[in-house]
Amino acid sequence: MQRLAILPSLDQLVTHDQVRLGYEWMTVTLALRPQGGAEPAITSGCGLSLSIISSYGCFGFEWPQTGASTVDQAYAFLAGQAKECLLSKILRHDAPQMDFDGSCEKLLIELAHMIERPNPEVQEAQLLRETYLQVGALIEDMDDDLCDDHKWELLTSISSLWDVFPDGLEYFKTNGPSYRRKSAEAFFDHLWSPYMDAKIKSQDASQALSPHHD
């Protein structure tokens, strides 16, 4: 059996910020490791760790070297990181997921076009109208707590859809951004960007008030 090893903590500067904006919130923990340490291979240069717990989820970032040696410099470094760069770190293993709303819109548009075709047979026209109404009613009553894949399974259980589209319904199935991507993008727009703006403005104000030495 392997033995548990608890390693000594590395010397580091740590800051915590509690941020609230309306009903949205986050806790930001920044750890800046100065040069040196017990494990030079890991701590050479100034390593920066950023841990975030928020109403949009948990996110973590690690930079082995930043060139920053103070907390102010670390925040200046973070302010220079593009949103897409940080998103790419969060979504490295992310994959698109089923977009139920987009798939339904595509399906309903096709049904509407088929209904509007000139001179349809009476039986076909009735089938199309009934299917369109049935699909619309099921979408309206769909439980929002279900995942998109489950919603699509319920929708495609309507037997008349298979009469209208005997070759299958895969054509209408549309992928969209994952829930994690939506949450991460909302996090950056609603919390991270305002937080960084406020942080940099606060640092600029502090520097303007501090005495200057020749």
Q: Write out pLDDT tens, residues 60-117.
A: 888 888 888 888 888 889 999 988 888 888 888 777 788 899 999 999 999 999 999 8
Side chain identity, residue 110: E
Q: Which helix (H) or strand (E) holds 195?
A: helix 193-209
pLDDT at 37: 47
pLDDT at 118: 84
Q: How far is CA 70 from CA 35, 60, 116, 154, 214, in A?
A: 11, 20, 68, 56, 21
d(CA 116, CA 128): 10
Q: Is the dihedral of CA 61, 47, 84, 79 positive or negative?
A: positive
CA end-to-end distance (rounded Å), the chain:
63
Number of neighbouring beta carbons within 10 Å of residue 7: 7
In 3D space, the residue among 37, 36, 81, 34 whose CA is nearest the CA of residue 59 turns out to be 81
Question: 63 - beta bridge partners?
Answer: 48
pLDDT at 40: 42
d(CA 55, CA 25): 6
List, run by run, the mean pLDDT of 10-residue segments along the chain (214 residues): 63 84 93 61 64 92 85 89 88 82 94 87 89 94 89 93 93 86 90 91 73 54
Each domain of the chain, given as residue ranges in start order, spans 13-95+182-209, 98-176
In the numeric block, the tokens 């690690």 are attached to 62
Enter the pTM of the model: 0.62
